[in-house]
């Protein structure tokens, strides 16, 4: 199939490269000339496990010229969405992409399907995207179709997730639109749910909200367990044996970050409020997540005075094996430490350059040097943190690194 992918960020690139691997002819469109050039020169502009290799294997072309999508049978919108001030998901880039596509539709003679993969709140495809596309003068259902196909890619495992998905959700304007998407996934052995556009939009948001809830839930159980002297990891193991609960996303700790879970949850809460519903549970999931970061600082203060103390940070990314620092736990914690007068020395195997853009003035040091600080905070569960010698140190652990327990003073955030 001839496919154009709009937006060569992390989702667009992974999607484009994987679809090329599945035998499609893929054109990536991005307004950033640097990104376009990098891709055309065989350089992968983002870090994602296995992606650079895949881009070298497959043939994917990039361009900043929207007119080139005119040959496409399928156009995937993979641009980013962000949180606006009130938490609502802002879809400016999706609107802009739809406008550019509408310009091309005016000239396009054959039928094509436009599919939104960006995460949007329920109703956006029908109320925002379709009206823009219809301004082209072409008729939906006859000249073009529309789908909403949410992505369920976890960073650091995105290529694997794309090629071995747990499920494919096809939100379709009509059967003809959905058939095109179904055809795209025909070589993957995967359960498919075909549904309408708004349900598909909600499945994505509700899935991320559920994962976030599971994390805040186990963190709250952990906070109670810590007071009672019970090991929450053993509790989670026992709970996870029940298939209805499942063992994944029950790792208690310092909470969730990243560009998806917090943004999508805030977006769902904002949408609920717009329609007059107060999302009490979901808001509390966010509150608990915020408090979990503050809790780590409180535990630290039990052991040292922050003013003038050196505090070592292990883990700056929002999770291991990525260089992504968006909404990472470290951003919040480092900010508080600096406000309280501490001197921060930080290490991450991949994310230092991105973190430096946010905090240019803290010290970035090798991991061994972090150990020389007055106290050490562990903020991601990087495997290599299990190889350090913590003897004689003060460690406050937000992620359950077993080796750190040998520290002279060791406290887990909720164990
Ligand atoms: C998340 C979802 O897992 C994907 O399914 C979804 O497609 C993606 O968002 C998206 O909407 O694009 P991602 O943001 O890459 O993926 O990260 P996760 O692996 O979900 O981790 C999110 C955060 O939760 C991390 O900070 C992680 O450390 C934390 N976490 C995860 C916990 O604190 N405990 C756990 O048990 C699991």
Q: Which pLDDT tens digit goes with each residue over 347-400?
A: 999 999 999 999 999 999 999 999 999 999 999 999 999 999 999 999 999 999
DSSP-derived letter for residue 25 is E
As a whole-number percent, the residues of the chain with pLDDT over 70 amount to 100
Give the integer Cα–Cα distance in Å for 117 and 63.
19
Q: Indicate which residue's Cα is closest to atom 28 of ligand 1.
A: 319
Name the residue among 115, 110, 21, 104 with its Cα closest to residue 75. Answer: 115
Residue 44 has pLDDT above 90, yes or no: yes
**205 three-state secondary structure:** helix
Given pLDDT bands bounded at 50, 70 and 90, which one contains residue 187?
confident
**pTM beyond cutoff 0.75:** yes
Distance CA 392, CA 403 (A): 13
Q: Phi then psi for 364, rounded to 5 degrees?
A: -105, 120
> Is pLDDT of 1 > 90?
yes
Question: Of the candidates 216, 221, 223, 254, which has an alpha carbon nearest to the alpha carbon of residue 238?
Answer: 221
Residue 94 has pLDDT above 90, yes or no: yes
pLDDT of residue 40: 96
Given a contact cutoff of 8 angstroms between Cβ atoms, the answer to whether 102 and 62 are in contact is: no
Q: Which of 342, 339, 259 is nearest to 307 (CA)?
A: 342
pLDDT tens figures, 307-329: 999 999 999 999 999 999 999 99
For the Cβ of 320 lying below 6 angstroms from any atom of ligand 1, the answer is no
Tens-digit pLDDT profile for residues 132-147: 999 999 999 999 999 9
Q: Is 319 in the pocket of ligand 1 (CB under 6 A)?
A: yes
Residue 376 in contact with residue 360, Cβ under 8 Å? no
- Between strands 89-90 and 82-83, the pairing is antiparallel
Tell me the average pLDDT of the chain: 97
Contact present, 205 and 118 (Cβ < 8 Å):
no
Any ligand 1 atom below 6 A from CB of 153: yes
Q: With 90 as the cut, is the pLDDT of residue 188 above it? A: no
| Span from the CA of 299 to the centroid of ligand 1 (angstroms) | 25
Q: What is the pLDDT of residue 71?
A: 96
- pLDDT by residue (tens digit) across 97-124? 999 999 999 999 999 999 999 999 999 9
pLDDT score at 166: 95
Which residues fall within 8 angstroms of residue 205, CB to CB, at 6 or more apart?
119, 121, 122, 264, 267, 268
Q: Which atom of ligand 1 is nearest to the CA of 249?
A: 36
Q: What is the pLDDT of residues 220-256, one digit of tens each?
A: 999 999 999 999 999 999 999 999 999 999 999 999 9
Residues annotated catalytic, as ranges: 260
Task: Please indicate whether residue 136, judged by its CB atom, sits closer than 6 Å to ligand 1.
Answer: no
């Amino acid at each position: 199939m001839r496919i154009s992918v709009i937006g060569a960020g992390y989702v667009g690139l992974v999607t484009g490269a994987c679809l090329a691997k599945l035998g499609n002819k893929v054109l990536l469109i991005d307004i950033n000339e640097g990104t376009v050039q990098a891709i055309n020169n065989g350089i992968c502009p983002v870090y994602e496990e296995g992606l650079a290799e895949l881009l070298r294997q497959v043939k994917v072309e990039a361009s900043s010229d929207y007119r080139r999508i005119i040959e496409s049978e399928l156009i995937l919108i993979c641009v980013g969405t962000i949180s606006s001030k009130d938490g609502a998901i802002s879809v400016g880039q999706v609107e802009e992409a739809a406008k550019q596509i509408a310009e091309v539709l005016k000239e396009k003679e054959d039928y094509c399907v436009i599919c939104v993969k960006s995460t949007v709140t329920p109703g956006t495809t029908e109320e925002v995207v379709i009206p823009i596309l219809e301004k082209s003068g072409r008729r939906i259902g006859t000249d073009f179709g529309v789908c909403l196909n949410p992505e369920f890619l976890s960073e650091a495992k995105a290529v694997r997730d794309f090629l071995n998905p747990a499920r494919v959700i096809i939100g379709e304007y009509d059967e003809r639109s959905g058939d095109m998407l179904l055809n795209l996934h025909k070589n993957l052995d995967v359960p498919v749910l075909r549904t309408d556009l708004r349900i598909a939009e909600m499945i994505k948001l509700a899935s991320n909200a559920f994962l976030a809830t599971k994390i805040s839930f186990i963190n709250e159980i952990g906070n109670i367990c810590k007071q009672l002297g019970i090991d929450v990891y053993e509790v989670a193991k026992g709970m996870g044996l029940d298939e209805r609960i499942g063992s994944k996303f029950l790792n208690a700790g310092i909470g969730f970050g990243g560009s998806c879970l917090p943004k999508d949850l805030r977006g769902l809460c904002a949408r609920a409020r717009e329609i007059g519903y107060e999302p009490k549970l979901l808001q509390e999931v966010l509150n608990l997540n915020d408090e979990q970061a503050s809790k780590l600082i409180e535990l630290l203060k039990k052991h040292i005075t922050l003013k003038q103390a050196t505090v070592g940070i292990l883990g700056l990314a929002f999770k291991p094996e990525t260089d992504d620092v968006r909404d990472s736990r470290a951003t919040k914690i480092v900010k508080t430490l600096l406000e309280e007068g501490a001197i921060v020395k930080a290490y991450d195997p991949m994310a230092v350059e991105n973190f430096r853009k946010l905090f240019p003035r803290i010290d970035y040091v090798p991991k061994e040097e972090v150990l020389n600080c007055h106290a050490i905070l562990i903020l991601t569960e990087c495997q290599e943190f299990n190889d350090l010698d913590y003897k004689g140190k003060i460690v406050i652990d937000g992620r359950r690194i077993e080796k750190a327990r040998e520290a002279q003073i060791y406290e887990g955030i909720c164990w």
